[in-house]
Amino acid sequence: MISLHGVTKIYTVGTQRVAALNGVDLEIADGEFLSIMGPSGSGKSTLMNIIGCLDRQTEGKYILDGLDVSRLGDNQLAIIRNRRLGFVFQSFNLLPRMSAIDQVALPLLYRGASNRKKVAAAALELVGLSDRAHHKPTQLSGGEQQRVAIARALVARPSIILADEPTGALDTKTSMDVMEVFRQLNEEMQMTIAFVTHEHDVAAYTRRIVSLRDGKVVGDRPNVPVYAGRPAAPVEEKEAAP
């Protein structure tokens, strides 16, 4: 459960103060699948960074699972990122020279968990990459890399997975595969997933679309998701793994 009240982020460039976010109010309930849309410079990446606890708002309140994040120190934010948040980036951001399973196990390492390999292997299975566990990023295709990144984001069972243009570096077919993974995670495991995107095709997969412009929320509407170009399948129907 995420709630933002009047979140404002002001950057000072030289003597100029630029508001990247200007009083954003947003609630994300558990189990939601939403996209945050907006043109370049609308502040969606800044919003993403704040929700992701990578950055702090200048003003306003951010409550994550009942916790006032703005009061937390660096170390506590690191713990929040580790336990409650999962990131998927446009450029995958995998560590070079590290096998898929080790990448996925990394958040567990920082959490100090035992049983890491087993949990990581299960996460890789969820994204359909069990057979690629010991491949390194350079040996994986773009879609596979992104799925490793998704596995890494979900391995710690976070409250929310934040995806910043996750299909931005992928072709249409691969994008659809990746979106399919997200859809399954949301539908079958009730994971909360928020996308930042400017692609309507991507947003079309989600159940709610929030529009951002000039640092403000200008639209917030439910969406009937369309999967792989056809209307949403009933929940009970299992999709074949991509």
Binding residues for another protein (CB under 8 A)? 49, 52, 54-55, 74-75, 78-79, 81-83, 87, 89, 93-98, 102, 106-107, 109-112, 152, 156
Between 43 and 225, name the residue whose CB sits nearer to another protein: 43
Least distance CB 84 / another protein (angstroms): 10
Shortest distance in whole angstroms from residue 192 CB to another protein: 17
Least distance (Å) between residue 79 CB and another protein? 7
What token pair was written down for 156? Answer: 């710690």
Specify the residue, 140 or 203, whose C-beta has the smaller distance to another protein.
Answer: 140
| Shortest Å distance, C-beta 81 to another protein | 5
Q: Residue 96 in contact with residue 61, Cβ under 8 Å?
A: no
Cβ neighbours, 10 Å, residue 200: 10
Quote the least distance from Cβ 185 to another protein, whole Å: 17
Cα–Cα distance for residue pair 108/87, rounded to 1 Å? 14
- Of the pair 69, 176, the CB lying nearest another protein is at 69
Residue 17 has phi, psi (to 5 degrees) of: -105, 120
Nearer to another protein, 83 or 135 (CB): 83
For another protein, give the closer residue by CB, 153 or 203: 153
User: Could you tell me which of 27, 25, 44, 26 has the C-alpha nearest to residue 36?
Assistant: 44
* Sheet with strand 85-88: strands edge to edge: 85-88, 160-164, 192-197, 33-37, 208-213, 216-222
